[in-house]
Amino acid sequence: MSGAPGPVGTLEVALDHAARLLASDPALAAEQAEEILRAVPRHPVALLVLARARRAAGDPRAAVEILEPLAAAQPLAAEVHYELALALGDSGRGEAAVGSLRRALRLRPDLDGGWRVLGDHLTAIGDTAGADAAYANHVRVSTRDPRLLAPAAALADGRLPEAESLLRAHLRSHPSDVAAIRMFAELAARLGRLGDAENLLARCLELAPGFTAARHNYAVVLHRQGRSAEALQEVERLLATDPRNPGLRSLQAAALARLGEYHRSIAVYEGILADYPGQAKIWMSLGHAFKTAGRQSDCIAAYGRAIELSPSLGEAWWSLANLKTYRFAQGEVETMSAQLDREDLPVEDRLHFHFALGKALEDAGEHATAFEHYAAGNRLHRATLPYRAEETTALVERSRALFTPQFLEPRRDSGCPAGDPIFVVGLPRSGSTLIEQVLASHPAVEGTMELPDLLAIVRDLGGGRRRSEPSRYPEVLAELEPSALRDLGERYLERTRIQRKTDRPFFIDKMPNNWAHVGLIQMILPNARIVDARRHPLSCCFSAFKQHFARGQGFTYDLDDLGRYYRDYVDLMAHFDAVLPGRVHRVHYERMVEDTEGEVRRLLVYCGLDYDERCLRFYENERAVRTASSEQVRSPIYRHGVDHWRNYEPWLEPLRQALGPALVHGPYAG
């Protein structure tokens, strides 16, 4: 093309030609756009084409230089604001990109791709609710099939039962419609039916392997089910073609942290913060990674930065308190109290402030006021949880009925013979992290984390049911042949292998809730060690009551629930002591404090390990520790916490009543 464009028709042809070159030859598209601009300076469409060409050629900053003045001159042009958002995102200016996206979508709510990109940015900055809404709108506006418009609208508006009914009807007639399958998977995930969502997305990708949005959803669902190794594979496959996608990078960092790859996770979070430096939740996530890696000063600085950016972010304050070794200054206590006085403070932030203030006031010796805050935080969180104590009791009763000597003896050697795992079970805050740290200081033992893999096997055996449906577990174990039991043990070892970073022969699974599945462990891994971490019931339960857990442990937010849970736990462990004498080794926290060396020696003998002095110097171990006790086990053992519950004795009568026989009988009676 040479010389100035002629009449309007010629200009339109030239612009159309330049636009068509963008995909195949962005450099030539830029030349065409520049030639048009020499003839018609500041022509908005030519400028937009030139900006797109610059970004396509890998120079998003040059695109931004074109688009910012163009957006100012064309404030109602949705496509200009959208293109500016893409260029800002590619330039590492994620926060500015979010602003441009919101402007573009206000101008044109049906802008193709806009809601998806906004969802990716909101995922990166930790706005889960906003991201979910954006992705739902993306599904709605990207749906071209008129038969899916109604269910898409229902999904976007939160009318989930209506969306489910419409999608079921559509899929009965069109079972291979990948758009409908992905939509149904989104619905299942929002209803908490993650197994269903996974199966739907796997089918979607089987039919359409190149459906990247479905693959992203698939990675999220895998990660949320604790299958982060598989999720990471999907994420890194997507990042290979979309390396700057903020939502994918955020998921990558979270999956790496879950897999114990803390140094890589930290690097990814730091990269995200280069694009979103003002995002408090990302600073908080970085702080979590620093904490687990043992970088306490960096951790405190990251949490502090999150608080500077968002003083109302209750979880950041609680994260400081949850270090257990951090002491709040009086000014910080006053700031937290002022936040609680706000009527517009969201419940999630409010309950975190209550837990943080409880810890701050406890450190100051103000136990009555501290208990008030702990109780308030627990009440707020308990109201959001579906936990029912009778379900735990029923599981214990059914397990005691099934796992009799007559049932266990014929299956004694049916499982996988490997002896690698050492399960540390019990209640949270029972001293299990101390036991883990002692064992992981032995050169033959690798510490990992609270692994979700045995619980995933339990869910699968139960039939992947909805909450309202009865589980087939544990009775289903009676139907399994020896080969199936062996396969389950091998499956557990295969799934946990990603957590093993060394060639040490033994590894620890410290998921406390596995106490409820000692019978399953015996059947599928008969040579695994099982260590029961036991602590005075009032001490253990109240310590859990003071703790806001990142996930799970729904029984810890009510004193009656806690007492009943502890009682069920003690009953089942006593049952296994009777039917499998000596199978489980018990470590009493108080005895470990009083006679550390003696208890450590007995523990090592049970595990078949030679005595090693390093186990007594567990606090020198620099391994990553991912529990609420992570900072405490980096110090020598201390006694002052053993009877700390006595400061709160006047308020613990509901717990005493619920504990009943578990408090009256046994080593803690009196």
- Structural domains for the chain: 8-173 (1.25.40.10), 389-664 (3.40.50.300)
Chain segment 104-119, per-residue pLDDT in tens: 999 999 887 899 899 9
The whole-angstrom separation of Cα 19 and Cα 21 is 5
Apex 292 CA angle, 314 and 257, nearest 5: 90
Per-residue tokens: 168: 């079921």
Alpha helices per DSSP H over 108-177: 114-124, 128-142, 149-156, 160-173
Name residue 434's amino acid.
L
Question: Is pLDDT at 425 greater than 80 in this prediction?
Answer: yes
Per-residue tokens: 257: 């942290």
DSSP 3-state assignment of 16?
helix
DSSP character string of 622-646: -----STTTTGGGS---STTTTGGG
Chain segment 320-342, per-residue pLDDT in tens: 999 988 999 999 999 999 999 99
Spacing of C-alpha 509 from chain mean position: 18
Alpha helices per DSSP H over 322-386: 330-340, 347-363, 367-382
The whole-angstrom separation of Cα 316 and Cα 288 is 10
- Among candidate residues 121, 69, 116, 77, the one with its CA nearest the CA of residue 99: 121
- Among candidate residues 226, 645, 206, 236, the one with its CA nearest the CA of residue 452: 226
- Among candidate residues 607, 563, 589, the one with its CA nearest the CA of residue 667: 589
More confident residue, 239 or 23: 239
Is 603 within 8 Å of 438 (Cβ atoms)?
Answer: yes
If you average pLDDT over residues 622-634, what whole number do you get?
A: 49
Q: How confident is residue 665, by pLDDT bands cut at 50, 70 and 90?
A: low
Which residues have C-beta within 8 Å of that of residue 31, sequence separation ≥ 6?
A: none
Question: Is pLDDT at 640 greater than 70 in this prediction?
Answer: no
Which residues have C-beta within 8 Å of that of residue 239, sequence separation ≥ 6?
A: 245, 248, 249, 252
If you average pLDDT over residues 457-466, what whole number do you get?
A: 80
Per-residue tokens: 403: 């796992």
For 280-312, the three-class secondary structure string (H helix, E strand, C coil) is: HHHHHHHHHHHHHCCCHHHHHHHHHHHHHHCCC
- Among candidate residues 185, 177, 152, 179, the one with its CA nearest the CA of residue 166: 152
Chain segment 472-525, per-residue pLDDT in tens: 999 999 999 999 999 999 999 999 998 898 999 999 999 999 999 999 999 999
pTM assigned to the model: 0.83
If you average pLDDT over residues 145-174, what whole number do you get?
A: 91
For 488-511, the three-class secondary structure string (H helix, E strand, C coil) is: HHHHHHHHHHHHCCCCCCEEEECC
Mean of per-residue pLDDT scores for the chain: 91
Chain segment 340-349, per-residue pLDDT in tens: 999 999 999 9
Percent of the chain with pLDDT over 90: 74
Chain segment 228-262, per-residue pLDDT in tens: 999 999 999 999 999 999 999 999 999 999 888 88
Name residue 354's amino acid.
H
If you average pLDDT over residues 28-34, what whole number do you get?
A: 91
pLDDT reported for residue 626: 46
DSSP character string of 54-82: HHHTT-HHHHHHHHHHHHHH-TT-HHHHH
pLDDT reported for residue 140: 82
The whole-angstrom separation of Cα 599 and Cα 283 is 40
If you average pLDDT over residues 283-298, what whole number do you get?
A: 92
